[in-house]
Structure 1
Amino acid sequence: MIIPDFKTAVTWAAEQDSQFGELSRTDCLAVAKAYLDEQRAEIMTRHREGASGANVVDLLSSLADELVNGVFLFALRQVPKPKSILKRVAICAHGGYGRRQLNPHSDLDIGLVYEGRIDKNLKSLNDYMVPFLWDLGYEISFVAHSIKEAKELARIDTKVFTSYLSCRYLAGREEVYGKLRLALDGLKPREISHRYAELRLRERGDSLAEEHRDLYAPEPNIKDGAGGLRDYQTGLWLMAVSHGAGTLDEIASHGFITKEERLAIAEALDFIWRIRNELHYLCAKAEDTLTFALEQDVAIALGYTDKTKRDTSRFMQDYYTAARVLQHFLRVAAHSCDDDIAESIVKPEAPENTEFSVENGELNAGLHDVQWYTENPARLMSVFWECARRDVPIGLDSERRITENLHLIGDDFRSSDLVRRFFLALCSRPLQAGRALRQAAQSGVLERYLPEFGDVRDIIRYEDFHHYPVDEHTLRAVEALALIPELEGSVGNFLKDTLEHLMDPHILVLALLFHDLGKVSGEDHSDEGMRLAKTIGARIGLPHEDTERIAFLVQHHLLMTHIALYRDTDDADVIESFAKTMKSEHRLRALFLLSYADMSAVAPNVWNDWKGTLLLKLYLKTEKVLLGYSEDTDEEFWKQPKAIAVQAFLDDELKGQLDTHLKAFGGQYLSAFPAEQIAFHIQCLNQADEHGFAALCVPNEDQETSEMIVCTPDHPGLFEEITGCFASQLVDVERADLYTRPDGMALDSFTVVNPSRRTPLSDAQVKVVESALKDVLTGVRQVDELLEQSQRRIFTGRFS
């Protein structure tokens, strides 16, 4: 016989046409597979031609519906009593499939619901359908429950409850599906309160896996990460359970989101669906992580046409914007649940006729009067001063009221003396300014007041190797000031003391807020940032002296870090030059704090004790020059017990060098190292005296680090060359101790680790690092050449 197409075969099965009986399972599978492949190809073409994400997921869901319905009818023809089965079963779609949100390689979550007991006929139906759908190429999750079982499981198991909450009818007897819905109506499982707590934690990111917590992860998981599809689905779930509003339209009609927010959520969701569709098509599998290697290909496929890092950056900027919208939706949903729970326990009182109040740890502002902001627009800034003063976040309802009044912020607002006073008062509280400014940014006030801040929103610059977009990095830098009281150790204590004695802290906060604004224009962002700082200062009415102090810090915001990490701070000329630039101890203090905050906000774990030690060393040396102090002389020390203990680790031929070695480096050196390490230093110096260069790596298993000792004649730029060699081989430096003998031989000791595992260097790593050091320090190669090779390797991995 002639094999029909899929739709004809389905019609024969539905009408119990005798011709269907002549078709084998292989025939049915072949026509179904041909139809599936043909339709999938057409949908992929529509996607490539620019179809919306919502359109594509709907088409894929409809296609799956056709296949599942057809396979169900095929299966009915294989069981002995199809009419009996048909009377008591229904097929349901669950999860993303139930919401009609299938991506190209999404799983099919299918449930079989039945009345009565399971029997051989039902088992035969199941045994036909599931393997058939697997053979078509679908990933299947299949469950079978009686209505009674479904109700009981949903009552005690939140996951089952959630699954049935969003399920929809596919095939079988619709009355059976109706009985299921009736049985589940009004049911809330025992674990529901625990689930609310879990979701509230998720809103803050605490319950997410470490790699998924950061909205601005450089390689975001667009399904499970913060701001991903899971946040949207969780928000819908919360709204459906708490308020019976399971769609965006229903949520908007209940007043939980505005029409504008509903549109923004739909647009963000559509964009992320488009990204996920492209990822699935590009990888030919269910891939949800937007890796560096995939970013450019996805960007080009979605219409970011130039094959450049800047266009990839623009694409990622749009992604982070969309992710932030979905994350905010989850926040709104979680907040509505908190209100619902509170109202069920305590009857809410009418709002007091007060301007400000704190409830449940959040600031309410102006909720008593819809005209409150219109009467005095300066209140749009005073709210954030209150947040800083009271050290509490602003409530969601108050934030929404502020957003509704952003149109009041214009030129008059920006030049208002009253607004400026509130803004400077906020910035004068460095421990609270970070959170208040973040909320001002979140509500839209900050970029309306400072349009230059809006210009850097979500901008990614790959050449900076920053983990975060410019605006997020900036806010985290201000927030880093609030972490200073928690820091430990000598560097932490010094930062605390410096912040406590800082004059005019608003200068520091504003310098942090402005320091990267110049990145919107191109490479030389420090000078451009200085220009913008002066422009902003004049516009908002800052005193000229304050504007100049802020502009100085912005222009030189990279200087202290560069000198501390890449220049030889034992070189008196380096210190003298830096001191001439600083001119005053007040500037030095502010730049020290700014350098800490800026470095802390680059990426997780970029700030460490080693870098802090280098900054502190530069600070103290520069401070002495600025204050006119001289270096203290070392006291006699070389006959101390510790000095004598070094001999136990030395060969006889080297013991005679101990006194000379210790006298050359001083008492501070003796205090800084254990006896065994000093012995290694002497061994390394002995080799350098003989060969002109030596490097020795000693593992420290207790600390899970390695000590890399480098001995070579001192010269300008030596520290920069050594650290450049480490950077070129992707080795992290946690600490550096730098010494030079009177004869000019340098002894530099570095605590280093394998960055990926935070462990001592492997033998292979030691070899390549020692080779790089030897090549650079003996003049065979330039360190810039090694760094360029390393950078090419990194960017090849990202963009090739």
Structure 2
Amino acid sequence: WHALEEMNRWGVLGKLLPSFNRIVGQMQHDLFHAYTVDQHTLLAIRYLRYFTHSENAHELPLCTELMMAMKGSWRLVLALLYHDIGKGRGGDHSKIGAEIVRQMCRDFEITGEDADYIEFLVREHLTMSMVAQKQDISDPEVVENFAKKVGTMERLVGLYLLTVCDIRATGPKIWNAWKAQLLEDLFYSTARFLKGKGIDRDLLVSRRRKDALRMTRFTPEQRDRINKFWDNFDVAYFMKHSVRNIVWHAKVLLPHLDSSKSFVASRPLRGMEHAHEILILTQDRPELFARIVSNLQQYGLSIAEARIHTGRDGRVVDSFIVVDDGSDPNFEQEFAHFQEILAEKLDLAEKLPPPLRGRPSRQSKLFPISPQASLRPDAAGKQYMLSIVTTDRLGLLASIARVFVKYGINLVTARITTLGERAEDVFLIESAKLRDPVFCAEFEKAVLEALEL
């Protein structure tokens, strides 16, 4: 890395690799890249170098372990050096970069599997991040499709390491423990599939229920109660939550299973500052998601993920990953009180408050983002994926939730991705009305109008 940086500083790297010379000093006109393209590229290689030193293993142990065991790591360095080489040329920079790096391999007589490996990493360098952050990686079909695209464990390891370095080198506010966990979960799920250990949903659910009970000290009566409660929920609940999460849910919800009142609990998210997981047990009702989101955002909490599970008995178990800005030293104490208030508000039939409106920042005015909304069926064709891109603002999610209420849309899961001032959110939704193209067009239009408010 030191040699590459010096070569770039004195213009030698651009002379040796003319295509690299085009990205030297190239600005990235968006709200989340903090560096020029060449600076970002060399910083990504620097992060890769970190994984070759055991003293850094505590930070991302899986990355260090994989890097230490990797053979031919020079190919990964080359892939990182060329992963953004296609920027500024018009069109898909990943595909353009793949063509450029293929020619580079010919020029330097890199052939066969080595050339294919480098080209694959450049062409697909955004894929793992997109799948982890925007798709439901607890769905076996999502993992299977990703695994088929990757093809081999060698490619998976390279793509995982490249993705981690790429995101970390984007800007100081982009990488966090939540994204690290998503990528690690996708890596393990894909590795399992590539090793011939496919995912049997029924077997997985049975194992998770047994493992969860084994980790508790419930009495036989308590086991019966929690098993009856679990019987209300479909496979999705057990697929979307780890055994540790299911155990926590069971322990905190058990005393409240016979109550008709709403209950809210929370815990800090491991490895991520100012982040909490909020768990809500309540009765299903109209405007429930909109009401929860409105209250969370009025309290100044940013939502990173929402998982919605409605049982056959009409009870709902919702979990949210939320992040506060870290500005309030008394947050933990006030947050405990807020949970009680939220539970009470969910049981009151008060009129839904209007969503908070935040002023756009100066940065977002300099780099305006045209709102986008797209709706398409998921892989199974049973549910629909709503993807939105817009400028992030206070009250955005509450505004979208109101559109769901108006059009009778049920939310299954939500992935909330914020890149600087840019929001890229994906919602898995369902409604019989979505089979009607006219209804879909009206719904999309309403979502766009909400984004432009």
TM-score between both structures, scaled by the size of structure 2? 0.59
Q: Deviations over 1:518-566 (max 9, x none)?
A: 1121352111111111122222332243222211111110110111111
Q: Deviations over 1:177-210 (max 9, x none)?
A: xxxxxxxxxxxxxxxxxxxxxxxxxxxxxxxxxx
Aligned length: 331
Match of 1:537 among 96, 100, 105: 105
Q: Deviations over 1:689-736 (max 9, x none)?
A: x9xxx99684759974332447899xxxx9xxx9xx99xx99374xx6
Aligned partner of 1:466 in structure 2 is: 33
Q: Give the structure with the higher percent helix.
A: 1
Match of 1:477 among 26, 44, 51: 44
Deviates more, 1:753-762 or 1:563-572: 753-762
In the aligned structure 2, how far is the partner of 1:451 from the partner of 1:537?
14
Q: Give the structure with the higher percent strand.
A: 2
Does the CA-based 8 Å contact 1:731-1:752 persist in structure 2? yes
**SS of residue paired to 1:636:** helix
In the aligned structure 2, how far is the partner of 1:488 from the partner of 1:732?
30
Distance 1:750 1:436, change over 3 A: farther
Q: Deviations over 1:599-643 (max 9, x none)?
A: 110111422222111111111111122111145634735655845
Aligned amino acid, residue 749 of structure 1:
S
Distance 1:441 1:640, change over 3 A: same
Q: Deviations over 1:336-356 (max 9, x none)?
A: xxxxxxxxxxxxxxxxxxxxx
In the aligned structure 1, how far is the partner of 2:400 from the partner of 2:250?
20
Unaligned 5+ segments in structure 1 are: 1-433, 649-654, 793-800
Does the CA-based 8 Å contact 1:731-1:754 persist in structure 2? yes
What are the residue-to-residue correspondences of 1:357-436 with 2, within 5 Å?
A: 434-436=1-3
Does the CA-based 8 Å contact 1:685-1:747 persist in structure 2? no
Does the CA-based 8 Å contact 2:28-2:35 persist in structure 1? no
What are the residue-to-residue correspondences of 1:357-756 with 2, within 5 Å?
A: 434-463=1-30, 465-484=32-51, 485-487=54-56, 492-631=60-199, 633-634=207-208, 636=210, 642=216, 644=218, 658-661=226-229, 669=242, 671-672=244-245, 675=248, 678-679=251-252, 698=266, 700=268, 704-709=274-279, 731=302, 733=304, 749-755=319-325
Which has the higher Rg, Structure 1 or Structure 2?
1
Q: Deviations over 1:740-791 (max 9, x none)?
A: 68979995634422246498698798x947735743654759999x999x75
**SS of residue paired to 2:276:** strand
Aligned partner of 2:350 in structure 1 is: none
Does the CA-based 8 Å contact 1:638-1:662 persist in structure 2? no
Aligned partner of 2:343 in structure 1 is: none
In the aligned structure 2, how far is the partner of 1:685 from the partner of 1:527?
56
Does the CA-based 8 Å contact 2:274-2:324 persist in structure 1? no
Q: Deviations over 1:272-295 (max 9, x none)?
A: xxxxxxxxxxxxxxxxxxxxxxxx
In the aligned structure 1, how far is the partner of 2:325 from the partner of 2:101?
37
In the aligned structure 1, how far is the partner of 2:23 from the partner of 2:106?
20
Aligned amino acid, residue 252 of structure 2:
A
Which structure is higher in RCO with an 8 Å CA cutoff and minimum separation 6? 2
In the aligned structure 2, how far is the partner of 1:701 from the partner of 1:629?
30
Aligned partner of 2:391 in structure 1 is: none
Distance 1:560 1:439, change over 3 A: same
In the aligned structure 1, how far is the partner of 2:48 from the partner of 2:328?
26
Shift in Å, 1:510: 0.7
In the aligned structure 1, how far is the partner of 2:180 from the partner of 2:113?
30
Does the CA-based 8 Å contact 1:503-1:586 persist in structure 2? no
TM-score between both structures, scaled by the size of structure 1? 0.35
Q: Percent identity?
A: 24
Aligned partner of 1:284 in structure 2 is: none
Distance 1:567 1:777, change over 3 A: farther
Does the CA-based 8 Å contact 1:480-1:597 persist in structure 2? yes
Q: Deviations over 1:288-338 (max 9, x none)?
A: xxxxxxxxxxxxxxxxxxxxxxxxxxxxxxxxxxxxxxxxxxxxxxxxxxx
**SS of residue paired to 2:86:** helix
Aligned partner of 2:402 in structure 1 is: 775
Unaligned 5+ segments in structure 2 are: 339-354, 357-393, 424-453
Does the CA-based 8 Å contact 1:473-1:601 persist in structure 2? yes
Aligned amino acid, residue 556 of structure 1:
E
In the aligned structure 1, how far is the partner of 2:17 from the partner of 2:111?
17
